[in-house]
Amino acid sequence: MSEAESPPVLSRREFIETAGLALAGVVLDSPVEGGEPITDIHQHLGYSGRPDDVLLAHQRAMGATTTILLPAGRSVNTPSTHDGVSNGLQAQCLGNEPCRQFARAHSGAFRFGANEVPDVEGATREIERYLKLGGVVIAEQKFGVECDSPEMQRIFELAQAYRVPVLMHWQFQMYNYGFERFHKMLEKFHRVNFLGHAQTWWGHIDRNHIDQTVMYPKGPVTRGGLTDRYLSDYPNMFGDLSAGSGLNALTRDEEFARDFIKRHQDKLIYGSDCNDLDGTKCQGAQTIAAIRRLAPNKAIERKLLHGNAKKLFRL
Ligand SMILES: [Zn+2]
Ligand SMILES: [Zn+2]
């Protein structure tokens, strides 16, 4: 049984915090429009320079009641950051400490992850520090390293010890090399839950995803792709629907998407990864609309927008 399947139990401390917030007029899982909580598992602080108040307004406009902030690692010039190109997750995103502080200042609505460039000195020590402070995921792992390298395996060991998922940005020849070998890690670290994200992850829903350099493939999907098989064959593999790549995977072949959502209804999780200033017509809002349109029923829609995240991140 994976960690994600264990029912969430409120600790005494969490109960007191929840009760305290309720007294203060802040209700967790508070209904926005339509009375339904939405968890956005993929956001960033300082994203492309976006001010904090605009992020707050963006999340409110989308209807996100809980948001997980994914930090960048430290800024270094190494091959794993492509000599600094991928510092700040290639989008000016802020690191562990600002994310932790922001989540603390907006507790109830925001949580944070823990992150570091995997091959710098003291990487696991830094990640562990922020897991101890309450980080709910190791993310966003978006670095130029082999997905099964010794440093990545040390991160997976840490995730196992702290019972948190690891979120990986898969992008051909850029981030997390060796997608076709990842099943070995899913087997070796079968107690660690992994989230797949980005172009190469979503491209591989299609069995005919031959040209790996195509980042946003269009048109009909042929069943039996590597991503589909990872989701089917490994209970510890989950899909993060965020970003243009996630939205593209839902909209390029809606007949396939309906069936895909039905088959992986316990594995797919909403995230926005939006860097815009709006929150109403943007890609994150469109992904929520696509989930509502394509989910075969209300119960499955609720799993993708909230229930699966609540379980997986033990929120
Ligand atoms: Zn991201
Ligand atoms: Zn947006």
Ligand 2 mean position, distance from CA 296 (Å): 25
Determine the pLDDT at residue 34: 57
Determine the pLDDT at residue 20: 44
pLDDT at 14 over 70: no
pLDDT at 29 over 70: no
- List the beta strands (DSSP E) in 77-129: 110-112
Ligand 1 mean position, distance from CA 43 (Å): 6
- Beta bridge partners of residue 265, listed in sequence order: none
Give, in order, the Cα–Cα distances in Å from 97 to each of 126, 225, 279, 290. 11, 38, 25, 34
Provide the whole-model pTM. Answer: 0.89
Ligand 2 mean position, distance from CA 294 (Å): 20
Token pair listed for 140: 């966003």
Residue 5's pLDDT band, with cuts at 50, 70 and 90, is very low
Mean pLDDT of all residues in 196-224? 96
Mean pLDDT of all residues in 283-312? 98
Amino acid at 60: R
Q: What percent of the chain has pLDDT over 90?
A: 89
Q: Is 205 exposed, middle or buried (0-12, 13-18, 19+ CB in 10 A)?
A: buried
Ligand 1 mean position, distance from CA 15 (Å): 31
Ligand 1 mean position, distance from CA 107 (Å): 21
Ligand 2 mean position, distance from CA 62 (Å): 7
Q: List all residues 6 or more positions away from 46 whose beta carbon is below 8 Å from its beta carbon.
A: 88, 92, 93, 94, 98
